[in-house]
Amino acid sequence: MELITILNRCHRCRGFVYHHARFSPDHRTIEVSVRPRKGSAAICSRCHQPAPGYDQLTERRFEFIPFWGFLVFLLYAMRRVDCRRCGTVVVEEVPWGDGKRTLTKAYMLFLARWARRLSWKETAQAFRTSWDKVFDAVEHVVTWGLEHRTLGQIDAIGVDEIQYAKGHKYLTLVYQIDIGITRLLWVGKERTIESFQGFFATMGEQVISKIVFICSDMWEPYLKVIREKCSEALHILDRFHIVAKMNKALDEVRAEETRRMRREGRDPVLKKSRWLLLKRSENLGDEQHFRLRDLLRYNLKTVRAYLLKEAFQQLWDYNSPAWAGKFLDEWCRQTMRSRIEPMKKIARSLRQHRELILNYFRAQKLISSGVVEGLNNKAKVTMRKSYGFRTYRVLELALYHSLGKLPEPESTHDFF
């Protein structure tokens, strides 16, 4: 009777009354009978207006939030209505259910909230339900959230990709990275021009036209689509990827020189020096500092490439786009004279994208890819938490659910 009292206090089910509760024969579940209140009219599930009754269907079971370790089911015989507005006979709308789903709205919201904290498998095991029902719950909440989210004013977006399966399969992710709000806006299957164009089609011209800043890497298809769709926005190249490409070039020089020294029978002075060279100097320990100091005494291509890489870090200390541009030009000139081909390749790329790099300073260094990389790490944690998802649809729902900051449907039952 205490359970019936709690449920009947819910003000969002005024057209119905919880009649009585009983234990199942195995005493593992509680079944609560629901009846329409006397004189209440059924609601058409299409136009959401009262309609005259037509007939009654057989009793259905709706799974509710577990109480005191017992599984709880609501039992209700759905009515059909003869709706004159819709011109057809349809099943009534009930406040606790959604179409043909067997889970109540309150239970779906309950499971979806826990699925954001635990893996979906752990959520299913904890509440003695199935993985498929957790999927249904998350799909319901995410679908509702996408339909009811308010995009509002979006000033800055970040574009990046992450690998989600074996075989070089990638997702294109677009985030809102405004100061004060960061969230996932869109997930695109594959890393293609067509996929990225889907974001602009989904957001609409009204939202896209107000974007002020765009942060991305140097992948040419991204640059092309941004030039076509968002030419008025200030396009900022991803600082993280510039440094990553430079580290990759330095590692190529080190690996090639190590192989050459081994072939010539020289002392392996570069052995186990990879992370010694790739780490920032302020992140090295005392012993590593001594080792790096000894290494820099050698006249090696790797040492010269390392010094160029370290000198480039000074670029980010400038505030003026003009002075940053002068430094960048001088660095590229010195690098092109270094006769180190991987570093020269980086210099040619930086010259090609010079204006996009300087946009970082024109934006007063307020917009960077650091936020995007942080969100990407959260996306990877979401995938690792369940040891990978088997289909793109499930992964898409999980990412929106974890990173989208979507509104949630109002629950029919409040217990707190």
For tokens 């349809």, the residue is 90
CA distance 353 to 237: 8
Burial class of residue 180 in the structure, from the number of CB atoms within 10 Å of its CB (0-12 exposed, 13-18 middle, 19+ buried): exposed
46 and 83 Cβ atoms separated by less than 8 Å = yes
CA distance 287 to 123: 47
For tokens 């590692």, the residue is 251
Phi, psi torsion values for 164, nearest 5 degrees: -125, -5
170 and 161 Cβ atoms separated by less than 8 Å = yes
Q: Who's near 346: CB < 8 A, 6+ residues apart?
A: 245, 246, 249, 335
Nearest to 39 by CA among 50, 24, 55: 50
pLDDT at 307 (0 to 100) = 93
CA distance 387 to 392: 14
Tokens read off for 318 = 């400038």
Q: How far is CA 11 from the centre of its chain?
A: 35
SS3 343: helix
Instruction: Give the CA angle between residues 363, 368, 370 to the nearest 5°.
Output: 165
CB atoms within 10 A of CB 277: 20
SS3 21: strand
Nearest to 236 by CA among 97, 332, 361: 361
Could you tell me the pTM of the whole model? 0.84
- The rounded radius of gyration (Å) of the Cα atoms in the chain is 30
Instruction: Give the CA angle between residues 309, 315, 319 to the nearest 5°.
Output: 165
181-189 and 53-67 as β-strands: parallel, antiparallel, unpaired?
Answer: unpaired
pLDDT at 324 (0 to 100) = 95
71 and 30 Cβ atoms separated by less than 8 Å = yes
pLDDT at 415 (0 to 100) = 58
User: What does the pLDDT profile of the chain (416 residues) look like in tens digits?
Assistant: 566 666 666 656 667 877 777 877 777 888 888 888 888 889 998 998 999 988 999 999 999 988 878 888 999 999 999 999 988 999 999 988 888 889 999 999 999 999 999 999 999 999 989 999 999 999 999 999 999 999 888 999 999 888 887 777 888 999 999 988 999 999 998 888 888 899 999 898 899 989 999 998 888 888 889 988 888 899 988 788 888 899 999 999 999 998 988 888 888 888 888 888 888 877 888 888 888 888 888 888 999 999 999 999 999 999 999 999 999 999 999 999 999 999 999 999 999 999 999 999 998 888 877 788 888 889 988 888 766 677 889 999 999 999 999 999 987 766 55
216 and 200 Cβ atoms separated by less than 8 Å = no
Partner residues linked to 42 by β-bridges: 51
CA distance 209 to 202: 13
CA distance 109 to 140: 8
Give Cα separations from 339 to 22, 77, 306 (angstroms). 84, 82, 14
pLDDT at 211 (0 to 100) = 92
CB atoms within 10 A of CB 10: 18
pLDDT at 281 (0 to 100) = 79
Altogether, the residues listed in the chain come to a count of 416
Write 35-40 long-range contacts (CB < 8 A, 24+).
Answer: 35/76, 36/79, 40/14, 40/15, 40/16
